[in-house]
Amino acid sequence: MAKRKQFEYRVVSYMDDPIRFEQINFGLIIQNIQSKHFEYILTPNDTPKINSLLPTSSKRKLFKLNVNYLRFLLDRLQSEGNYNKLTQTLQDIEIPELIFSSPKPALSDNVSQLLENLADVYIGHQFIARDSVDTTIIEPKVFAEKVVEENDVPKSHYKTNFRVQPERSVPFKIQVDYIYANKDQLEIVNTAPTQLSSTSMWYYRMRSLSDNERFGQKVTILGNTQSEANSDSTLLQMYQTLHNHNSNVYFVDVAQPYAINTFKENVIDVMKSESSESELKKLLA
């Protein structure tokens, strides 16, 4: 059984009229105390719960604008990886209608399930878009294959399951998921395991790859922070060690909504460049 992690959660409420002092809960933000990663859920704008509190179209429009602004701030923090700035960001929001509760403690080994359970308690299951709480663990390799395929990257612009020798003196090769060219440098993409038992061997292989000056520009790691491999933030700690050792090692969390855009901008767009094919052939010759 996976060890339970410590979380803090905040209930997000909306108060339209401070004189009537009527407010409703419409969202939750939950944060891992150790890693600072957070998840959130906000109800749709047109639920009966919202319409009962906000009877006029102008009030509902203002609610939508305020909630969309909150969503923008939270998505930006996630996309930039600034998880430790969550508390300050919420404190700086100058919208009197938005109310955030004090952080409350929680223990769980599954953040998605915890978020769903808390949403049922504080918001009500009938007001939650069920597809907004996804408990499926995304496999990083499946994620990569899907994004590469959907973006029509020519197969001649990359190699998959390619075996590389970390050092000439090392008598073994390491298989990487993708290798491609960026100008005069080779770049690689490797996926992290989702099982905790596989992380140690994976880490040592990644350390060998990140030591290789041949991949001087970028080593992209695709991982899932909601998987068992990240129990006690194991996966994130391994990545941080790799990044501290080599600042050209990057991590994309496939569990986050911004993952596709990040992977596309930093990897896919480079793969699709016109010179990628010829550069790859030259570098692998």
Tokens of 133: 């709480």
> How much is the pLDDT for 103?
94
Q: Strands, E, within the chain: which ranges? A: 5-17, 22-32, 38-42, 98-100, 104-108, 159-164, 174-182, 185-191, 219-223, 249-253
Which residue reads 């769980």 in tokens? Answer: 108
Which residue reads 């990044």 in tokens? Answer: 243
d(CA 91, CA 76) in angstroms, rounded, equals 16
Q: Are 199 and 238 in contact (CB under 8 A)?
A: yes
- What would the pLDDT profile of 217-254 be if each residue is shown by its tens digit? 688 999 998 888 887 788 888 988 988 888 888 899 88
> How much is the pLDDT for 233?
83
Q: Any residues with CB less than 8 A from the CB of 152 and at least 6 apart, and which?
A: 272
What is the identity of the amino acid at 42?
Answer: L
Q: Read off the pLDDT of each residue in 15-21 and give the average, rounded to a whole number.
A: 76
Q: Read off the pLDDT of each residue in 79-103 and give the average, rounded to a whole number.
A: 88
In this predicted model, which residue has the larger pLDDT, 115 or 141? 141
What is the identity of the amino acid at 158?
Answer: Y
Length of the chain: 285
Given a cut of 70, is residue 215 above it in pLDDT?
A: no
Q: Are 2 and 197 in contact (CB under 8 A)?
A: no
- What would the pLDDT profile of 31-80 be if each residue is shown by its tens digit? 988 888 888 888 876 677 777 778 888 888 888 888 888 988 888 887 77
**Rounded-to-5 percentages of helix, strand, coil across the chain:** 45, 25, 30
pTM, full prediction: 0.54
Percentage of residues of the chain with pLDDT beyond 70: 89
> How much is the pLDDT for 7?
92
Of the CA atoms within 13 Å of residue 187, those in its CB half-sphere come to 23
> How much is the pLDDT for 99?
93
Q: Are 60 and 50 in contact (CB under 8 A)?
A: yes
> How much is the pLDDT for 42?
85
